[in-house]
Amino acid sequence: MNNIKLSQRQEEIIQLVKENEPITSEQLAAKLNLTRAALRPDLSILTMTGILDAKPKVGYIYSQKPSYNAVNEYIRKIKVEDIMSKPVIVSESTTVYDAIVDLFLHDAGTLFVENNGVLVGATSRKDFLKFAMGGTDMHKVPVGIIMTRMPNIIVVDKDELAYDAACKIIEHEIDSLPVVEKVIDNNKDGLKIIGKVSKTNITKLFVKMGKNI
Protein backbone atom coordinates (compact mmCIF):
# COMPACT_ATOMS: atom_id res chain seq x y z
CA MET A 1 0.00 0.00 0.00
CA ASN A 2 1.11 3.55 -0.62
CA ASN A 3 1.98 5.56 2.45
CA ILE A 4 -0.44 8.28 3.48
CA LYS A 5 1.34 11.56 3.97
CA LEU A 6 1.40 12.76 7.56
CA SER A 7 1.14 16.40 8.54
CA GLN A 8 4.34 18.35 9.10
CA ARG A 9 3.68 18.50 12.84
CA GLN A 10 3.17 14.73 13.01
CA GLU A 11 6.45 14.17 11.15
CA GLU A 12 8.20 16.48 13.64
CA ILE A 13 6.70 14.58 16.57
CA ILE A 14 7.89 11.25 15.18
CA GLN A 15 11.40 12.60 14.69
CA LEU A 16 11.52 14.01 18.22
CA VAL A 17 10.36 10.71 19.66
CA LYS A 18 13.00 8.81 17.68
CA GLU A 19 15.71 11.13 18.97
CA ASN A 20 14.56 11.38 22.60
CA GLU A 21 12.55 8.25 23.43
CA PRO A 22 11.06 7.76 25.86
CA ILE A 23 9.65 11.27 25.91
CA THR A 24 6.56 12.63 27.67
CA SER A 25 3.82 14.75 26.15
CA GLU A 26 4.96 17.66 28.34
CA GLN A 27 8.47 17.42 26.92
CA LEU A 28 7.18 17.16 23.36
CA ALA A 29 4.94 20.19 23.84
CA ALA A 30 7.86 22.20 25.21
CA LYS A 31 10.12 21.28 22.29
CA LEU A 32 7.42 22.23 19.78
CA ASN A 33 6.41 25.38 21.68
CA LEU A 34 2.81 24.16 21.90
CA THR A 35 0.30 23.42 24.64
CA ARG A 36 -0.44 19.82 25.53
CA ALA A 37 -4.04 20.38 24.39
CA ALA A 38 -2.88 21.44 20.93
CA LEU A 39 -0.60 18.42 20.70
CA ARG A 40 -3.12 15.85 21.93
CA PRO A 41 -4.95 15.21 18.59
CA ASP A 42 -1.68 14.40 16.80
CA LEU A 43 -0.50 12.10 19.58
CA SER A 44 -3.86 10.33 19.56
CA ILE A 45 -3.61 9.68 15.82
CA LEU A 46 0.02 8.53 16.00
CA THR A 47 -0.63 6.11 18.86
CA MET A 48 -3.95 4.84 17.48
CA THR A 49 -2.33 4.02 14.15
CA GLY A 50 0.62 2.25 15.76
CA ILE A 51 3.39 4.67 14.79
CA LEU A 52 4.02 5.54 18.43
CA ASP A 53 3.54 3.51 21.60
CA ALA A 54 2.46 5.25 24.80
CA LYS A 55 4.02 3.75 27.92
CA PRO A 56 2.24 4.76 31.18
CA LYS A 57 4.46 6.81 33.51
CA VAL A 58 7.28 6.52 30.97
CA GLY A 59 6.39 8.38 27.78
CA TYR A 60 6.18 7.83 24.04
CA ILE A 61 8.44 5.52 22.05
CA TYR A 62 8.69 4.86 18.33
CA SER A 63 7.04 1.65 17.15
CA GLN A 64 9.09 -0.62 14.91
CA LYS A 65 5.95 -1.82 13.13
CA PRO A 66 3.83 1.20 12.15
CA SER A 67 0.49 0.23 10.60
CA TYR A 68 -0.98 3.60 9.87
CA ASN A 69 -1.72 3.25 6.16
CA ALA A 70 -5.30 1.95 6.20
CA VAL A 71 -6.35 3.81 9.33
CA ASN A 72 -4.92 7.12 8.19
CA GLU A 73 -6.58 6.74 4.80
CA TYR A 74 -9.91 6.00 6.49
CA ILE A 75 -9.64 9.05 8.74
CA ARG A 76 -8.72 11.38 5.91
CA LYS A 77 -11.83 10.43 3.92
CA ILE A 78 -14.38 11.32 6.60
CA LYS A 79 -15.84 14.80 6.31
CA VAL A 80 -17.85 16.88 8.75
CA GLU A 81 -21.06 16.31 6.79
CA ASP A 82 -20.65 12.56 7.34
CA ILE A 83 -20.84 12.82 11.13
CA MET A 84 -22.71 16.07 11.89
CA SER A 85 -26.04 16.03 13.72
CA LYS A 86 -29.00 18.36 14.13
CA PRO A 87 -28.25 21.52 16.15
CA VAL A 88 -30.53 23.03 18.79
CA ILE A 89 -31.30 26.58 17.67
CA VAL A 90 -33.09 29.43 19.44
CA SER A 91 -33.70 33.04 18.50
CA GLU A 92 -31.85 35.94 20.06
CA SER A 93 -35.04 37.08 21.81
CA THR A 94 -35.71 33.71 23.50
CA THR A 95 -35.72 34.11 27.27
CA VAL A 96 -32.98 32.43 29.27
CA TYR A 97 -35.64 30.29 30.97
CA ASP A 98 -37.03 28.97 27.67
CA ALA A 99 -33.51 28.42 26.35
CA ILE A 100 -32.64 26.30 29.40
CA VAL A 101 -35.79 24.24 28.83
CA ASP A 102 -34.75 23.64 25.20
CA LEU A 103 -31.24 22.72 26.32
CA PHE A 104 -32.42 19.98 28.65
CA LEU A 105 -35.28 18.73 26.46
CA HIS A 106 -32.75 18.03 23.71
CA ASP A 107 -30.00 16.91 26.11
CA ALA A 108 -27.62 19.36 24.44
CA GLY A 109 -24.47 20.98 25.77
CA THR A 110 -24.65 24.06 23.54
CA LEU A 111 -27.44 26.17 22.05
CA PHE A 112 -26.85 28.11 18.86
CA VAL A 113 -28.55 31.47 18.44
CA GLU A 114 -29.93 32.84 15.18
CA ASN A 115 -31.37 36.14 14.07
CA ASN A 116 -33.34 36.08 10.79
CA GLY A 117 -31.76 32.76 9.86
CA VAL A 118 -28.19 33.95 10.46
CA LEU A 119 -25.91 32.60 13.20
CA VAL A 120 -25.25 35.37 15.74
CA GLY A 121 -24.01 33.51 18.80
CA ALA A 122 -23.88 30.45 21.03
CA THR A 123 -24.39 29.68 24.69
CA SER A 124 -23.50 26.68 26.82
CA ARG A 125 -24.52 25.08 30.11
CA LYS A 126 -21.69 26.96 31.79
CA ASP A 127 -23.15 30.28 30.60
CA PHE A 128 -26.55 29.40 32.02
CA LEU A 129 -25.01 28.31 35.32
CA LYS A 130 -23.11 31.58 35.69
CA PHE A 131 -26.27 33.53 34.92
CA ALA A 132 -28.36 31.55 37.41
CA MET A 133 -25.82 32.22 40.15
CA GLY A 134 -26.31 35.96 39.61
CA GLY A 135 -29.90 35.81 40.79
CA THR A 136 -31.38 37.71 37.82
CA ASP A 137 -34.91 36.78 36.70
CA MET A 138 -34.36 34.30 33.85
CA HIS A 139 -37.94 34.81 32.63
CA LYS A 140 -37.17 38.39 31.62
CA VAL A 141 -33.65 38.29 30.16
CA PRO A 142 -33.18 37.25 26.49
CA VAL A 143 -30.50 34.71 25.67
CA GLY A 144 -28.86 37.31 23.45
CA ILE A 145 -27.62 39.07 26.59
CA ILE A 146 -25.56 36.13 27.89
CA MET A 147 -24.44 34.43 24.66
CA THR A 148 -21.00 34.55 23.09
CA ARG A 149 -21.38 36.63 19.95
CA MET A 150 -20.02 36.23 16.45
CA PRO A 151 -17.30 36.46 15.29
CA ASN A 152 -16.06 34.81 18.51
CA ILE A 153 -17.64 31.45 17.61
CA ILE A 154 -15.43 28.68 16.21
CA VAL A 155 -17.16 27.18 13.18
CA VAL A 156 -16.59 24.44 10.60
CA ASP A 157 -17.65 23.87 7.01
CA LYS A 158 -19.39 20.66 5.97
CA ASP A 159 -16.53 19.84 3.59
CA GLU A 160 -13.83 20.06 6.28
CA LEU A 161 -12.30 16.85 7.59
CA ALA A 162 -13.86 15.40 10.72
CA TYR A 163 -10.30 15.07 12.01
CA ASP A 164 -9.81 18.85 11.72
CA ALA A 165 -13.12 19.45 13.51
CA ALA A 166 -11.95 17.22 16.37
CA CYS A 167 -8.71 19.19 16.56
CA LYS A 168 -10.67 22.45 16.86
CA ILE A 169 -12.81 21.04 19.67
CA ILE A 170 -9.75 19.98 21.63
CA GLU A 171 -7.65 23.06 20.89
CA HIS A 172 -10.38 25.53 21.87
CA GLU A 173 -11.70 23.37 24.74
CA ILE A 174 -15.34 23.53 23.61
CA ASP A 175 -18.14 20.97 23.51
CA SER A 176 -19.63 21.64 20.09
CA LEU A 177 -18.98 23.35 16.76
CA PRO A 178 -21.65 24.78 14.44
CA VAL A 179 -21.50 23.57 10.85
CA VAL A 180 -22.20 26.58 8.66
CA GLU A 181 -22.61 27.77 5.09
CA LYS A 182 -22.36 31.31 3.77
CA VAL A 183 -25.50 33.36 3.09
CA ILE A 184 -26.17 36.97 2.13
CA ASP A 185 -27.95 38.96 4.86
CA ASN A 186 -28.81 42.59 4.12
CA ASN A 187 -26.12 42.67 1.42
CA LYS A 188 -23.57 41.36 3.93
CA ASP A 189 -21.99 37.93 4.23
CA GLY A 190 -23.48 35.88 7.04
CA LEU A 191 -23.42 32.28 8.23
CA LYS A 192 -26.35 29.90 8.36
CA ILE A 193 -26.08 26.93 10.69
CA ILE A 194 -26.85 23.59 9.02
CA GLY A 195 -25.58 21.16 11.64
CA LYS A 196 -23.24 20.62 14.56
CA VAL A 197 -20.24 18.50 15.46
CA SER A 198 -19.86 17.69 19.14
CA LYS A 199 -17.68 15.52 21.33
CA THR A 200 -20.44 12.93 21.10
CA ASN A 201 -20.21 12.88 17.30
CA ILE A 202 -16.47 12.36 17.52
CA THR A 203 -16.90 9.53 20.05
CA LYS A 204 -19.43 7.80 17.78
CA LEU A 205 -16.98 8.09 14.88
CA PHE A 206 -14.24 6.52 16.99
CA VAL A 207 -16.52 3.58 17.84
CA LYS A 208 -17.48 3.20 14.17
CA MET A 209 -13.82 3.12 13.19
CA GLY A 210 -13.20 0.35 15.68
CA LYS A 211 -15.90 -1.75 14.01
CA ASN A 212 -14.88 -1.05 10.42
CA ILE A 213 -11.09 -1.28 10.52
Where exactly are the structural domains of the chain?
Answer: 8-77, 81-207
Q: Which CATH architecture has domain 8-77?
A: Orthogonal Bundle (1.10)
Would you say residue 1 has pLDDT above 50?
no
Q: For residues 37 and 43, is the Cβ–Cβ distance under 8 A?
A: no
Q: Write the CATH number of the domain with boundaries 81-207.
A: 3.10.580.10
pLDDT tens digit sequence for 2-28? 445 678 898 899 999 999 999 999 999
Q: What is the CA radius of gyration of the chain?
A: 20
pLDDT tens digit sequence for 158-175? 999 998 898 899 888 899
For the residues of 89-123, what is the DSSP string, one character each?
EEETTSBHHHHHHHHHHTT-SEEEEEETTEEEEEE
Q: Residue 178, Cα to own-chain centre: how many angstroms?
A: 10
pLDDT tens digit sequence for 138-164? 999 999 999 999 989 999 999 999 988
